[in-house]
Structure 1
Amino acid sequence: MAVLCIAGSGSGAGKTAVGCELIRAMPELRWLAVKITAHEHSGFEGITEETDAGSAKDTGRYRAAGAVRAFLVTTKSDAPAFIERVRARAPECDAVLIETGKLNAAEIAEAGEENLTLAVLTADVSKWKSETHMRAGNADALVLTNGMTQGSLPDELRWMVAFALPKGEWQSAALVDFARKRLKPAHL
Structure 2
Amino acid sequence: MAVVVVGGQSQNVGKTSVVAGLIAAMPEMRWTAFKLTLFGHGMCSANGEPCDCETAEHTVAVSEERDSNTGTDSARFLAAGAVRSLWVRTRTGDLAEAMPRIRKELEGAENAIFESNSILRFLRPDLYLSVVDPGVWDFKESARLYLDRADAVLVPEGVLGRPEWNGVSLKLVEGKPVLPMRPPVYVTEEVVGFVAERLGLRKKAW
**AA aligned opposite 1:9:** Q
Determine whether 1:134 maps to 2:150: no
**AA aligned opposite 1:13:** V
Identity of counterpart residues, as a percentage?
Answer: 28
Change (3 A) 1:162 1:12: same
* Aligned residues: CA RMSD: 2.4
Q: Which has the larger radius of gyration?
A: 2
Shift in Å, 1:9:
1.0
Q: Which runs of 4+ in 1 moved over 4 A?
A: none
Shift in Å, 1:77:
3.3
Change (3 A) 1:91 1:30: farther
TM-score by length of 1: 0.83
Count, aligned residues = 179
Write the distance in 2 (CA, Å) between the matches of 1:53 and 1:119: 26
Give the match for residue 150 of structure 1: 160
Shift in Å, 1:90:
5.9
Question: What secondary structure does 1:117 align onto?
Answer: strand
5+ residue gaps, structure 1, are none
Shift in Å, 1:162:
1.1
Write the distance in 2 (CA, Å) between the matches of 1:122 and 1:95: 28
1:35 and 1:98 in contact (8 A); partners too: yes
Q: How does 1:30-179 map to 2 (within 5 A)?
A: 30-39=30-39, 40-42=45-47, 44=58, 45-75=60-90, 76-79=92-95, 82-89=98-105, 91-104=107-120, 107-109=122-124, 115-145=126-156, 149-153=159-163, 154-156=169-171, 157-179=173-195
Bigger relative contact order (CA 8 A; separation at least 6): 1
Give the match for residue 26 of structure 2: 26
5+ residue gaps, structure 2, are 40-44, 49-57, 164-168, 202-206
TM-score by length of 2: 0.76
Shift in Å, 1:97:
0.7
